[in-house]
Amino acid sequence: MSDLVLKDVRKSYGDAKVIHGVDLEIRDGEFVVFVGPSGCGKSTLLRMIAGLESITGGDVVIGGEQVNDIAPADRGIAMVFQSYALYPHKDVYGNMAFALRHAGEDKAVIDERVKKAADILGLDALLKRKPKELSGGQRQRVAIGRAIVRDPEIFLFDEPLSNLDAALRVQMRVEILRLHQRLKTTMIYVTHDQVEAMTLADRIVVLRDGRIEQVGTPLELYHHPKNHFVAGFIGSPKMNFLACDRVGDGTQVTAHGSAPITVLVKPRDAAGPFTLGVRPEHVDLVEPGQGQLDGTILVAERLGGETFLHVDLGDSEPFVVKADGNVRYVSGDPVGLSFPSDALHLFDANGDAFEHVERHALIA
Amino acid sequence: MSPVIQGIITIIIGVGGCVGYFYFANLLVDRVIFPQRDIAAGTTGMRRTIGRIGLGILLLLLLLVMFAGSLPDALAQIPAAIGSALAAFVSILLSAAEALSFGVEWLGMLLSLAVYLVLFVVVVGGLITLIGFAITAPGTATTGDNINRANQMRPWLFLFPAMFALGLYLMYPVVGSFIRSLYDRAGTDYVGLGNYVRLFNNPDFRTAFFNNILWALVVPAMATFMGLVIAQLTDRLRWGNIAKSLVFMPMAISFVGASLIWKFVYAQDPDIGIINAIRQFFGAEEGIDPLQIPFWNNFLLMAILIWIQTGFAMVILSAALRGIPEETVEAAIIDGANPFQVFFKIKVPQIMGTIVVVWTTITILVLKVFDIVYTMTGGNFGTEILPSFMMDFMFRDDGQATAVAFVIMVVVLPVMIWNIVQARKEMR
């Protein structure tokens, strides 16, 4: 077990710069998730930590040792790939034992460690099978088992659940979480799925275009996004954004000519135009005229327990509101929207968020 | 008639015949034999009877033809009578076509061609219909039954032309050669396995057989190994594709052409042959003829085929190497494998199926090679192999020649079966 430090890590392919100086400290035993849209460099960063990509600039430090020029096998890491990357010609046992055999371990030791890993992952009955005789979930377990057997200091997961179907993904997500609780090893997990990021991570690293946008606990990112991008990326359905104007002392805004809406942020000088951000689950539905804004329902997406209303406010994008699933909503009906001021976000022209007056109760 | 028109007519008849066969055969199956409607039990019974009687008559005629010698004259005459009646009928049709053409030559040819085509369609169609009728199930046939049965019959319909052609041009020669190999030089007296006994007692044959085994072991091994190594080494190079093109080029040269090129390499004159040039550089006085060095000259000949076949192995194996998922290689690197181990323990096992296919394909080719030996040494100096040995007998003692041919086939057969099995596994 070990901590990992990235110091101004850079990567470029010829003239194309992919990673623009990433600084990050990952503590021993932490579960960190890299998340971001495709092409943001999250996989590249992971592969640089693994040693599969060379490092153009900066340092990767594992357990206090700079590992830039150390071979992948000697970095104390193990990696699980999206496509499992099992050796098709070896059985499950052979796949898991491969690394140990190369390290010249004793047969008895290999046997013991493979059996132990198989036991943890429930693979005991499958040890003699070839990868093609396994289901997707079993293959992924073998890939994880191959990583466990090496007893690494850091686990690297590269979108490990993307090839699984939805039900299996949920199941494997829980298994990975329990594995982390059991092994207490540092884990770095790359995904583009923000549900995986939110549920698994101790801390989430949001990346965009080779830069870190924000690092924080899942709740921190949800309640106090640093900027427009993080606010829009975390949360499902995504946050609604409304162009707005500041009025009064700067803590009140009007959007679409609404009545003044109070936003509990620390006022500061910033250039407009401003954007008001509000999550679908933080909007109250009221009778038309009773709230700060009125709109008409375009579509009602019924999920049973809840209903997502797409409300037309005159913008190109509909305004999404999470509503009670037990109430009947009809397309074309007018609705009033009321914004509770403690759950609103305000962004300046650069997309930077205004700091909230109070931190959320669950975040220290 | 101008050759151009002849060519065009050939193409039209060929393509039209194929398309026509599939079109009309399907039509026959879907409309006549298994029409897409319900058929009453009485009708199916009648169909079965017609089909079985028809096929029975055909079978009977076949038997009559086969055993014509041991039958009373009256019976033996029947097929001949039917044959001459049919011939008379055809000649009537042909003369009608002749008459209709009013002396225009090309019209006459076209019409007689049409007559033959119609006869072919009638014969094949009639056969399909009879078989279809004969296999009609008893009882009422519903529309669904008929559609299902038509679909069951369709694959055979599509396979029939290929099976017929293969049977005629592949199976018949094999059987024919084997039978011929049981007869003496003139082909008149049956000698049993005498030709084979004589072969195996012939020291030249034993040399050829031994050499051929050497060829079949060395050439595929070397060509596959070098192809694999070159494919791997050139994979990541910028000029790798140029290198690959150069290695592949000998594939385009005929064996005889390649042999001529290598005759220069092995030439005795140091000004021409590189081997003797090198010897001279190191101070050798006399030039030697490398092709006369006993035993080792075999390997000098094999080098030519290796030179030709390495390109083939390289191209196929290069494609296979590219098909290996990159992640398995990366996983192996993380697991601590060095480049050699990655290649031999991760990459090679994953393309083992392809390697076997390449290996066996080259083996089959090796067992057929004749030109190289014939051009380079003519089989002298102990370089004889089976095909060139067979060539020595051909047209002089066909009994022995076909015996050699059969020995070659027996040797190739297991390799070929393995090749097919592996290739099919690869395709899955």
Confidence at residue A309, expressed as pLDDT on a 0 to 100 scale: 92
pLDDT-derived band at B158 (thresholds 50, 70, 90) equals: confident
Confidence at residue A33, expressed as pLDDT on a 0 to 100 scale: 94
- Residues B343-353 have pLDDT tens digits of 999 999 999 98
Which member of B325, B349, B350 has the closest CB to residue A83? B325
Question: CB of A73 within 8 Å of any CB in chain B?
Answer: yes
- Residues B75-102 have pLDDT tens digits of 777 778 888 888 898 888 888 888 887 7
- Residues A241-250 have pLDDT tens digits of 988 888 877 7
SS3 state at B388: helix
The nearest CA of chain B is from the CA of A79 a distance in Å of 7
- Residues B166-200 have pLDDT tens digits of 988 988 899 988 988 998 888 788 888 888 998 88
HSE-CB of B31 using CA atoms within 13 angstroms: 7
Is 90 exceeded by the pLDDT of residue B315?
Answer: yes
Which whole number is the average pLDDT over B311-328?
Answer: 92
Instruction: Show residues of chain B in contact with A70, CB under 8 Å.
Output: none
Is 90 exceeded by the pLDDT of residue B317?
Answer: yes
Question: Element (H or E) spanning B131, and its range?
Answer: helix B105-134
Inter-CA distances, A315 with A48, A239, A307, A332, Å: 42, 15, 21, 16
Confidence at residue A237, expressed as pLDDT on a 0 to 100 scale: 87
Which whole number is the average pLDDT over A267-271?
Answer: 80
SS3 state at B183: strand
Say if residue B257 is exposed, middle or buried (CB neighbours under 10 Å; 0-12, 13-18, 19+): middle
Q: How far apart are CA B296 and CA B277, in angstroms?
A: 19
> CB–CB of B334 and A72 under 8 A?
yes
Of residues B341 and B66, the one with the higher pLDDT is: B341
Q: How far apart are CA A52 and CA B118, in angstroms?
A: 70
Question: Element (H or E) spanning A9, and its range?
Answer: strand A4-13
Is 60 exceeded by the pLDDT of residue B312?
Answer: yes
- The nearest alpha carbon in chain A to B327 belongs to A85
Considering only CA atoms, give the Rg of chain A: 24
SS3 state at A152: coil
DSSP output for B321-379: HHTS-HHHHHHHHHTT--HHHIIIIIIHHHTHHHHHHHHHHHHHHHTT--HHHHHHTTT
Q: Which residues contact A227 (CB under 8 A, 6 or more apart)?
A: A213, A214, A347, A350, A351, A352, A353
SS3 state at A226: coil
Which whole number is the average pLDDT over A51-79?
Answer: 90
Confidence at residue B61, expressed as pLDDT on a 0 to 100 scale: 85
Which member of B325, B336, B346 has the closest CB to residue A103? B336
Of residues B172 and B378, the one with the higher pLDDT is: B172
| The pair of three-digit structure tokens given for residue A131, joined into one six-digit string | 């990868």
Which whole number is the average pLDDT over A30-40?
Answer: 91
Single-letter code of the amino acid located at B175? V
ipTM above 0.85, yes or no: no
- Residues B227-248 have pLDDT tens digits of 999 999 988 788 888 999 999 9
Inter-CA distances, A293 with A242, A277, A285, A287, Å: 11, 14, 10, 10
Q: Are B30 and B150 in contact (CB under 8 A)?
A: yes
- Residues A201-239 have pLDDT tens digits of 999 999 999 999 999 999 999 999 999 999 999 888 899
Q: How far apart are CA A26 and CA A255, in angstroms?
A: 41
Distance of CA B139 to the CA centre of its chain: 44
Confidence at residue A84, expressed as pLDDT on a 0 to 100 scale: 87
> CB–CB of A79 and B331 under 8 A?
yes
Question: CB of B152 within 8 Å of any CB in chain A?
Answer: no
Read off the DSSP letter of residue A291: S
pTM: 0.73
Query: With pLDDT > 70 as the criterion, what percentage of chain B qualifies?
Result: 100
Confidence at residue B118, expressed as pLDDT on a 0 to 100 scale: 84
SS3 state at A6: strand
Which whole number is the average pLDDT over B10-17?
Answer: 88
Read off the DSSP letter of residue A353: B
Residue of A54, A62, A87, A100 to mutate, interface with B, max B Cβ within 10 Å: A87
Confidence at residue B28, expressed as pLDDT on a 0 to 100 scale: 85
Domains in chain B and their CATH numbers?
A: 3-163 (no CATH), 201-427 (1.10.3720.10)
How high is the mean pLDDT of chain B?
87
Question: CB of A113 within 8 Å of any CB in chain B?
Answer: no
φ/ψ (deg, to 5) at A29: 80, 5
Q: Are B295 and B382 in contact (CB under 8 A)?
A: yes
Confidence at residue A142, expressed as pLDDT on a 0 to 100 scale: 92
Q: To 10 degrees, the CA torsion angle through B341, B345, B351, B353?
A: 150
Q: Which residues contact A129 (CB under 8 A, 6 or more apart)?
A: A91, A92
The B residues from 335 to 374 touching A (CB cutoff 8 Å) are 335-337, 341, 346, 349-350, 352
Question: CB of B331 within 8 Å of any CB in chain A?
Answer: yes
Convert A239-267 to b/e letters by CB count within 10 Å (16 or more is b): bbbbebebeeebbbbbbeebeebebebeb
Single-letter code of the amino acid located at B130? L
- Residues A146-202 have pLDDT tens digits of 998 988 899 999 998 888 888 888 888 998 999 899 889 999 999 988 889 999 999
Confidence at residue A256, expressed as pLDDT on a 0 to 100 scale: 81
> CB–CB of B334 and A79 under 8 A?
yes
- The nearest alpha carbon in chain B to A155 belongs to B334
> CB–CB of A72 and B333 under 8 A?
yes
Confidence at residue A273, expressed as pLDDT on a 0 to 100 scale: 86
Which whole number is the average pLDDT over A293-318?
Answer: 89
Which whole number is the average pLDDT over B25-38?
Answer: 84
Instruction: Show residues of chain B in contact with A91, CB under 8 Å.
Output: none
φ/ψ (deg, to 5) at A359: -75, 155
Question: CB of B428 within 8 Å of any CB in chain A?
Answer: no
Say if residue B402 is exposed, middle or buried (CB neighbours under 10 Å; 0-12, 13-18, 19+): buried
Question: CB of B426 within 8 Å of any CB in chain A?
Answer: no
Confidence at residue A364, expressed as pLDDT on a 0 to 100 scale: 66
- The nearest alpha carbon in chain A to B330 belongs to A52
C-beta atoms surrounding B56 within 10 Å: 12
Confidence at residue B115, expressed as pLDDT on a 0 to 100 scale: 85
Say if residue A177 is exposed, middle or buried (CB neighbours under 10 Å; 0-12, 13-18, 19+): middle
Which whole number is the average pLDDT over A53-81?
Answer: 90
Which member of B331, B336, B350 has the closest CB to residue A89? B350
Handedness of CA B205, B209, B215, B218 (dihedral sign): negative
List the one residue out of B359, B369, B368, B347 whose CA is nearest residue B418. B359
Q: Are A307 and A327 in contact (CB under 8 A)?
A: yes
> CB–CB of B334 and A87 under 8 A?
no
Q: How far apart are CA A122 and CA A138, in angstroms?
A: 9
The B residues from 306 to 325 touching A (CB cutoff 8 Å) are 325
How high is the mean pLDDT of chain A?
89
Confidence at residue A310, expressed as pLDDT on a 0 to 100 scale: 93
Q: How far apart are the first and last CA of chain A?
A: 26
Is 80 exceeded by the pLDDT of residue B260?
Answer: yes
| The pair of three-digit structure tokens given for residue A313, joined into one six-digit string | 């406010």
Domains in chain A and their CATH numbers?
A: 4-223 (3.40.50.300), 239-347 (2.40.50.140)
